[in-house]
Structure 1
Amino acid sequence: MSNTTLLFSKMHGLGNDYVVIDEYEKEIISEDKKSDVVVELCRRGFSVGADGVIFVSPSTGEADIRFRIFNADGSEAEMCGNGIRCFSKFVYDNGIIRNEKINVETMAGIKVVNLTVENGKVSSCRVDMGKATFKTEEVPMDVSDDEFVDHFLKVEGESLKMTALSVGNPHAVIFVEDASQVDLDKFGPAIENHPAFPQRTNVHFVEMVSPKEIIVVTWERGAGPTLACGTGATSCVIAGNKLEKLDESVLVHLPGGELQIDVYQDETGLGAFMEGDSVLAFDGIMVIDL
């Protein structure tokens, strides 16, 4: 092992926090070490502490740049709404790409991010999150139904009515009367690791304020309770729109703040735009063993 000096930025979107590492010019942490380093960096109280680690990488195709995100447990995720906003702000503010429209390569396809810039810095990001799929084989979900929309799933001895979908990563959406009364520590991990979800799933409990406003609490796959989840907010609004509970434009209240989600539809299905801010907490330097 050898000592490596690691430069990083600590950022958050609505309190959903990440360590961001620039590997655009060269790889800093080798592929076989990434998961272990992520776990170490994310340990709260012992290291930087974060919900995950984001790597800025060159595109492998025709996008402007590549976004990679790892959960705190070291697993790589397909997409993250709060993470991609932090990533986009980092990329612009650090002069890696100075376009106010960025095509970002993710494991869930290319995402188009439009930046609002004030005084030379990104103040907010609007992301085309793309189309959702409700097909259980694509979520994925191991059940006999073609779609799992407003169906019951047995969890911890209770039957919970939920809707499963993917917006590049898997989500289970459950509408409840009062989100503050949900036993998230009980039902979150039970649903995340339910046999019906072979790749695990993110879990969201949704309280309707009105057809234009909701409150969401989230158990994030690989991270646990989280202050905000951008893909989760998107999935909740799309699911609610499909169930005819929610309008096309919805304000989502999360423990860490608010996101605006605007649903669009065409002949291929439902998609959504997500808009919110991202914040640089601090830049740091540390020495790690690799």
Structure 2
Amino acid sequence: MDLKGLKFSKMHGIGNNFVIIDESKQTVISESDKPEACRFLCDRHFGVGSDGVLFVETSDVADLGYRMFNPDGSEAEMCGNGIRCFADFVYRKKILETESMTIETKSGIKTVDITLENNEPKFFRVNMGLSTFNTDEVPMKYDKEECVDGEIEVDGEKFNITVLSVGNPHVIIFVDDVDSVDIDRFGPLFESHHLFPEKINVHFVEAISEHEGKMRTWERGAGVTLACGTGATSTAIAGYKLGVFGSDVLLHLPGGNLKFTVYDENGQLGAFMEGPATLVFDGEIQ
């Protein structure tokens, strides 16, 4: 694998950071090399350092195609913070100069609306699409069709959990004090729990009020991250279903804040996410 001369951008969405590579015109990393290349690029000691690698591709059904790889080399369905960075990147690089774009991901087509300030992208509103609480679709090995405020035991302690998918799987655990949770202990135990055959993203959440919450995340394949957009989306939707949050909620993540508006489409819940994206630097592998 030779990455010499590889050009990329480093971006972050409220601390959730990514390496982004343009493959909209040609493939620059072969399919067989992508897992190893992404492990190297994400390595914070020997590579660039990131929570994932995003690839810009063409699409037959949307304006552009999106792929994401985790630090362990596995491919993820989608990332909410990543898709804002993706939209910022393609606008800045003049790959697609439009203030509203459709992006094909492995969890469906997402629509992103960009707010400009001084002709530069500043804020992004993403229709994150519809969720499912069906345990077979998450997937989750469970004896009920949904796991909403269900109780399980992990390492000798009992937790009430709500499980859903927004294209990728999430478990939401509401707690009284999110800062007191030993996330390094429970994060990997939940992620690899036998109930979740494809593993799962883990979020501990503290409700401050009906319209405000605080959360911490352990991401599948990445560990602790400063933010998770799909996780925050799942938290807003789960909180609304449980009656903990209203339809509008501001969530505080370690890296910053995201705003959500939950909607109901024929009995299925979805959400709009609003937040920033930031270019850190452009680089080239020497």
| Paired residue secondary structure (1:91) | helix
Q: Determine whether 1:31 maps to 2:53.
A: no
Q: Does the 8 Å CA contact 2:3/2:285 hold for their aligned counterparts? A: no
Question: Residue 126 of structure 1 corresponds to which residue in structure 2?
Answer: 125
Question: Residue 94 of structure 2 corresponds to which residue in structure 1?
Answer: 95
Q: Determine whether 1:235 maps to 2:230.
A: no
Residue 120 of structure 1: CA displacement?
2.1
CA distance in 2, matches of 1:58, 1:215: 37
Q: Determine whether 1:185 maps to 2:184.
A: yes
CA distance in 2, matches of 1:3, 1:285: 9
Structure 2 counterparts to residues 1-290 of structure 1, below 5 A: 2=2, 4-59=4-59, 61-287=60-286
TM normalised by structure 2 equals 0.98
Query: 1:162 is aligned with what amino acid?
Result: I
Q: Does the 8 Å CA contact 2:137/2:165 hold for their aligned counterparts? A: yes
Residue 2 of structure 1: CA displacement?
4.7
CA distance in 2, matches of 1:105, 1:121: 23
Q: Does the 8 Å CA contact 1:93/1:120 hold for their aligned counterparts? A: no
Query: 1:110 is aligned with what amino acid?
Result: I
Q: Does the 8 Å CA contact 2:69/2:75 hold for their aligned counterparts? A: yes
CA distance in 1, matches of 2:73, 2:79: 15
Moved more, 147-156 or 176-185: 147-156
TM normalised by structure 1 equals 0.97
Structure 1 gap segments, 5+ residues each: none
Q: 1:4 to 1:241 in 2, by over 3 A?
A: same
Query: 1:70 is aligned with what amino acid?
Result: F
Residue 75 of structure 1: CA displacement?
0.6
Residue 186 of structure 1: CA displacement?
0.6
Q: 1:134 to 1:285 in 2, by over 3 A?
A: same
Residue 220 of structure 1: CA displacement?
0.6
What RMSD over aligned residues (CA atoms) do the two structures have, in Å?
Answer: 0.9
CA distance in 1, matches of 2:250, 2:3: 46
Q: Deviations over 1:5-49 (max 9, x none)?
A: 100000000000000001110000000000000001111121110
Query: 1:186 is aligned with what amino acid?
Result: R
CA distance in 2, matches of 1:237, 1:37: 34
Residue 4 of structure 1: CA displacement?
3.3
Instruction: Return structure 1 stretches of 4+ with deviation > 3 angstroms.
Output: 1-4
CA distance in 1, matches of 2:163, 2:274: 23
Residue 3 of structure 1: CA displacement?
5.7
